[in-house]
C-alpha cells in the first residue's frame, strides 16, 4: 500500500465513526507513524508503506475511532506556535486560551513581572508568556504531580529557565505576592460534564474540567485567595466558561477588583476577564 491508500483507508474508518476531521486526522496519524511532517507525506503520496507501519497505523486509527483526542495519541499539541507535550493528566491547550496569552503579552511587554499560574496543567499559559516576557519570572502550581512533570518537560523543551513548578493547592502557603496571577481553572458545571463531547468527557482529566455545582467553585477560590498572593494594583487574568461573565464579574467587583479587559472567543462569548486588584 502507498501513503495515499493508507490515508484514504484511515479517513474512511474515521468517517464511519462520525469523526468530522477524518481526513486531517488520518494524515496526522500517518505522519506520526512515519515520523515525518504532514506536508512531506502529502507531497509524496506514492511512497510505499511497510506492513509494519501499516499495523502501527491501524492501531492509532482504532484509538481515534474510539474518540481519543488526536493530541493524546500523538502526545503533543500546538499552542502559541510551540509544540507542547500533553498527556491524559493535562488538559489539551485550547485556541481560546491563546487569546488571553496574546492580550497579557501586549499588556506586559518589556515589563519585568512575577507571574503565578494557578492550575498550570501542561504549563502552556505560563511558558508561552515567559517565552515573550523575557525579563519576567514565573511560578506554576498544580495539584497534579503528573501534570507538573509534563509542565517541567515543556519548560525545558522551550528553554524557559526563569520558571518553577510546584505541587501546591490554593490552600497552600505561597509566601510571595505576584504582579500577575493567571488561571484557567476548571469551570464546567458538574451536571454538564455528561453533555460534553465524547473526546473531552472520556479522555480529558476531570479535575481539570469540573468546577462544581455552578461551575464557579474554583473561580471563587482563586478570587478569594488572590488578595494574599497578588500585589495591590496587580492583575488577575481568569479564563471562564460560557455565560459565566456576569456572575464572575460580580464576585470580582465585590472583592475590590476593577475589570480592565474582557476577551471574547471566536463565537463572541466572553471567555477571559483581566482585572486589577484595587485594595485590601
Ligand atoms: N493551564 C492549563 C491550560 O490552560 C490547564 C488548565 C486546567 O487544567 N484547567 O490548558
pTM, entire model: 0.95
**If you take atom 4 of ligand 1, which residue's CA is the nearest one?**
184
Question: Is the CB of 208 inside a 6 Å radius of any atom of ligand 1?
Answer: yes
Per-residue pLDDT at 279: 84
140 lines ligand 1 (CB under 6 A): no
pLDDT at res. 239: 98
Indicate which residue's Cα is closest to atom 3 of ligand 1: 93
119 lines ligand 1 (CB under 6 A): yes
Q: CA-based Rg of the chain, rounded to a whole angstrom? A: 21
Residue 171, CB half-sphere, CA atoms under 13 Å: how many?
Answer: 1
- The set of cell numbers assigned to 14 is 474515521
Query: Counting Cβ atoms within 10 Å, is residue 191 exposed (0-12), middle (13-18) or buried (19+)?
Result: exposed
Burial environment of residue 219 by CB neighbours within 10 A (0 to 12, 13 to 18, 19 or more)? buried
126 lines ligand 1 (CB under 6 A): no
144 lines ligand 1 (CB under 6 A): no
pLDDT at 242: 86
Which residue lies with its CA nearest to atom 5 of ligand 1?
121
Whether 66 contacts 14, CB under 8 Å: no
Query: Could you identify the atom of ligand 1 that is nearest to the CA of residue 92?
Result: 10
Q: Strands 82-85, 76-79: parallel, antiparallel or unpaired by DSSP?
A: antiparallel
Distance, CA of 45 to CA of 239 (rounded, Å): 42
Query: pLDDT tens track of the chain, all 280 residues?
Result: 999 999 999 999 999 999 999 999 999 999 999 999 999 999 999 999 999 999 999 999 999 999 999 999 999 999 999 999 999 999 999 999 999 999 999 999 999 999 999 999 999 999 999 999 999 999 999 999 999 999 999 999 999 999 999 999 999 999 999 999 999 999 999 999 999 999 999 999 999 999 999 999 999 999 999 999 999 999 999 999 988 999 999 999 999 999 999 999 988 999 999 999 998 7
Specify the pairing of strand 257-264 against strand 163-167. Answer: unpaired
pLDDT score, position 266? 85
Amino acid at each position: 500500500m502507498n501513503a495515499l491508500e493508507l490515508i484514504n483507508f484511515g479517513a474512511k474508518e474515521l468517517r464511519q465513526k462520525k469523526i468530522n476531521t477524518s481526513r486531517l486526522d488520518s494524515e496526522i496519524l500517518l505522519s506520526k507513524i512515519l515520523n515525518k511532517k504532514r506536508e512531506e507525506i502529502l507531497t509524496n503520496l506514492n511512497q510505499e508503506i511497510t506492513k509494519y507501519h501499516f499495523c502501527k497505523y491501524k492501531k492509532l486509527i482504532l484509538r481515534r475511532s474510539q474518540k481519543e483526542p488526536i493530541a493524546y495519541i500523538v502526545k503533543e499539541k500546538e499552542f502559541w506556535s510551540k509544540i507542547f507535550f500533553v498527556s491524559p493528566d493535562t488538559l489539551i491547550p485550547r485556541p481560546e486560551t491563546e487569546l488571553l496569552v496574546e492580550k497579557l503579552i501586549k499588556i506586559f511587554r518589556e515589563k519585568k513581572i512575577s507571574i503565578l499560574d494557578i492550575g498550570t496543567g501542561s504549563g502552556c499559559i505560563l511558558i508561552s508568556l515567559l517565552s515573550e516576557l523575557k525579563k519576567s519570572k514565573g511560578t506554576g502550581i498544580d495539584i497534579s504531580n503528573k501534570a507538573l512533570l509534563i509542565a517541567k518537560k515543556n519548560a525545558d523543551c522551550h528553554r524557559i529557565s526563569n520558571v518553577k513548578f510546584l505541587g501546591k493547592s490554593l490552600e497552600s502557603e505561597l509566601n510571595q505576592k505576584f504582579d500577575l496571577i493567571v488561571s484557567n481553572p476548571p469551570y464546567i458545571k458538574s451536571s454538564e460534564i455528561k453533555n460534553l463531547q465524547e473526546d473531552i468527557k472520556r479522555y480529558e482529566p476531570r479535575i481539570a474540567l469540573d468546577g462544581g455545582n455552578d461551575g464557579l467553585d474554583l473561580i471563587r477560590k482563586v478570587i478569594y485567595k488572590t488578595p494574599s498572593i497578588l500585589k495591590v494594583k496587580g492583575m488577575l487574568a481568569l479564563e471562564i466558561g460560557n455565560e459565566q461573565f456576569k456572575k464572575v464579574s460580580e464576585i470580582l467587583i465585590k472583592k475590590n477588583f476593577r475589570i480592565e479587559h474582557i476577551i471574547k472567543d471566536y463565537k463572541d462569548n466572553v471567555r477571559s476577564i483581566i482585572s486589577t486588584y484595587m485594595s485590601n
